[in-house]
Structure 1
């Protein structure tokens, strides 16, 4: 009986070892903003999706300041090796890194850990637009970058501006020459599109759900790496149409750059295990996120390559030196 008990303990340790680490005692998710925003949402997905895989419930801590600047500074000064804490980031955070808005801290000063879902950019026109396909639109752009008005809910250098800039770069045209109209938000940009103030809206596919059946808008392409599930399955991607203009609005987490490999891999394993559950998929859906499940080294490499590309575009557009 003693041998059987010992064998059972060993098997249990092997089973749970991939998602646990002796270093992780008090799992904590840092939302680098005030409660209620996207970073809060990101932490809540992790809090509900991972549950108590580390033996204790996950705590959510809010750390507003500089849209993530305060948090990344803390995790490069006093908490560089904290095994308990993960910090929420978004594509906006990556853009801030690329354009130097976090000061001296770069993508090499953190370890990107895992995603909890995503939204994706979309190229949207009115249903009565002369542009029936993305090729129609891009042929117009190739002929003259300033021949149409592109608008979105963000200023020059924002995520939405970057989507338009990527489209122009994909056909070797200068983003500085495009006519870009900045709105206060996506709702205002859609109003501008429907009213004829702009020709194209570079928005998010997630916000199109309520508009697909109205007959007022046409989504020419989604800026995702692969086709999305219903209700977007019939919409082609920019990639499959031959344009290198992907924009993933990623939500995920990073850890301090000096965290142990043991703790990092344990967190990554916890997310990978959660990805395979119906519970996690439901939380993603309920929070308005589309599936994007990447963890560990694959994500770290993906994000760092993404930031390099953003930095190059920002430099060419004159946003940074």
Structure 2
């Protein structure tokens, strides 16, 4: 019979790898949009890279993510297995919806991705260029309808900034807010609106299929592999990037936050995640810790100023 010393038994136990945490990721929007895509990409990579054994995604749409955010903060307090996707859109939505819950009420973990906005029209649209669309906007702002994400989000801000840069009163724009990318997509493809605004990746397959025409992107310079001018090239001084982040529940310990951050960083540095970024056209904007906390505070203050300047908040 084989005998083990107490020290050998402890060594054997320590040699067994700890079971990876199971996660539930809240995507605070309907399926099909950027937050949903981010959550499901995380789900796929966390599991395939062996970082987490089981990852579930739940969609809680409404009010630019603020409904999901409020539910998350209330129902998952102290839960180290719960995560939520957020970003620039949510920062604006908190302000425009006067949400009692903000990103300050959860535990920000890291900024993950960035993506520029795309301005598209249906393939059958008479507007062939951004100049055509702006001419129509100047002639009658209310007659040009724009489909995009939630009120006060990145898409809404982009349209307001475009109007402002074109010399049009941004409070006169006819912006139609949808709670998920799939709904906005259907409105554009169904010729129910004049134009659409969203992150480039959400329109990419339709642009390639020829069912949408890409007029411009909100990048500071042309994007490699994308056949479209920037808004600046079109004579509009607008440069805007939509970023996405992941946060943990409020009330977790410093040790739990550190463990979650380590898992998310491992995911973000993995080959699987980098492949997904490349295929979706997402920029790697990884930022965590105190640097991300400072950047989030700065972005929140800047977003409030933009929303005031285009008349979306007082």
TM-score (norm 2): 0.66
- Secondary structure at the aligned position of 1:29 is classed as strand
Structure 1 unaligned runs (5+)? 1-5, 14-19
Is the Cα–Cα contact under 8 Å of residues 122 and 203 in structure 1 kept in the other structure? Answer: yes
Q: 1:174 to 1:128 in 2, by over 3 A?
A: closer
1:60 to 31, 43, 56: 56
Report deviation, 1:175.
Answer: 0.5
- Secondary structure at the aligned position of 2:85 is classed as strand
Which is worse superposed, 123-132 or 113-122? 123-132
2:91 alignment partner in structure 1? 94
1:30 alignment partner in structure 2? 25
1:46 alignment partner in structure 2? 42
Within a 5 Å distance, the mapping from 1:1-321 to structure 2 comes to: 26-32=21-27, 36=31, 38=33, 39-51=35-47, 57-60=53-56, 62=58, 64=60, 66=62, 68-69=65-66, 71-77=68-74, 79-102=76-99, 104-117=100-113, 119-124=115-120, 129=127, 131=129, 144=138, 146=140, 149-154=143-148, 157=151, 159=153, 160-170=155-165, 174-178=169-173, 180=175, 185-189=184-188, 192=191, 198=194, 201-206=196-201, 207-212=203-208, 214=210, 217-220=213-216, 222-224=217-219, 228-230=223-225, 232=226, 235-238=228-231, 243-248=237-242, 250-284=243-277, 288=280, 290-297=282-289, 298-321=291-314
**Corresponding residue pairs, total:** 290
- Deviation sequence 1:53-111 (CA, Å, 0-9, x none): 89752432637365644553355456444333222235543332122353x21232223
Q: 1:113 to 1:181 in 2, by over 3 A?
A: closer
- Secondary structure at the aligned position of 2:248 is classed as strand
- Secondary structure at the aligned position of 2:284 is classed as coil
Is the Cα–Cα contact under 8 Å of residues 119 and 289 in structure 1 kept in the other structure? Answer: yes
The CA RMSD over aligned residues, in Å, is 4.6
Q: 1:260 to 1:224 in 2, by over 3 A?
A: farther
Report deviation, 1:246.
Answer: 0.4
TM-score (norm 1): 0.65
Q: 1:98 to 1:212 in 2, by over 3 A?
A: same
